[in-house]
Homo-oligomer: A and B are copies of this chain.
């Protein structure tokens, strides 16, 4: 190991230690780290050497306290197990990382009360901005967020009254459109299966039901939901429920996500029900598997990665005083027709 080894026994080196070693003042070291253009090359080198040889790592708490800049973006998602958020997070992390922001991520377990608690925790870290899922916050949570006086982006769905900024799409409209498309492919008796039933799933369901209602095709017995978390296994169970509720007449099902849809598809195969000739299936989220499974699964594609990127970009724009063009963005969706629904 080259150079002087630090006395690993004692405490972490501080700015002052580095300053002493480089024979400069503390603020010069600080400048080397934060405003390198304001320091001469000679000092920069000397300081950098001292930093390296001491293995100095800045204390972010002290820095945050002194500068009131934490470099943290707080992110609230409702579930770590729901892989839908992976892509969104990837987008957020990518942009945040490029802007030298850290991400503090919390899981609210689909509970507004837990969300309130988590937001309090996040705010105690003095984040410079927040990204938060949906619009279903408690009053007290909303108050904290607005008092924090930082950019907030609500993601995953378009909201009538965003707290601040908003990136998403209309789940209601998506559900509505799915109903229309399924009817166009020749389905007569449409059902819906949904799990977890968070607000976004409810909106998909509402849109779906509204479209059927308008066309006098709604049979509410065929709308089967459960508060249980979604899974492939559950998709199979719910399929059976709908089939039996319809007396075997159902010929098209909108599944609130691709997990349920796959479960329903696998179960159809086991029950020897032909998809799509006897039963059309449509999922939601368009996972990779949906395109490759046999028969491939019709689903609603959502640009999740792009949603994360966009949310993070709006925040960076705001933080850098580049006021973003839009404070609300509809990121859209696309119904991808595949083999699990009939060709028109």
Q: Which residues of A contact B (CB under 8 A)?
A: 6, 8, 12, 55, 57-62, 64-65, 70, 80-81, 83, 86-87, 89-90, 93, 97, 102-107, 120-121, 123-126, 143-144, 146-148, 231-233, 236, 259, 262-263, 266, 269-270, 288-289, 291-294
Closest chain-B Cβ to A147's Cβ sits at a distance in Å of: 6
**A102/B104 in contact, CB under 8 A:** yes
From B6, B70, B289, give the contact of A262 (CB < 8 A): B289
**Interface pairs (27), CB distance under 8 Å:** A12-B147, A55-B143, A55-B144, A57-B144, A58-B124, A59-B65, A59-B124, A59-B126, A60-B124, A60-B126, A61-B61, A61-B64, A81-B86, A83-B83, A83-B86, A97-B107, A102-B121, A102-B125, A105-B105, A232-B291, A262-B289, A262-B292, A266-B293, A269-B294, A270-B294, A289-B289, A293-B293
When distances are taken between beta carbons in the complex, the residues of chain B under 8 Å from A104 are 102-104
When distances are taken between beta carbons in the complex, the residues of chain B under 8 Å from A55 are 143-144, 147
Closest chain-B Cβ to A307's Cβ sits at a distance in Å of: 15
When distances are taken between beta carbons in the complex, the residues of chain B under 8 Å from A103 are 104-105
Closest chain-B Cβ to A188's Cβ sits at a distance in Å of: 27
**B57/A61 in contact, CB under 8 A:** no
**A57/B90 in contact, CB under 8 A:** no
When distances are taken between beta carbons in the complex, the residues of chain B under 8 Å from A81 are 86-87, 90
From B125, B143, B263, give the contact of A60 (CB < 8 A): B125
A100 closest partner in B (C-beta): B121
A83 to B287, CA, bound (A): 12
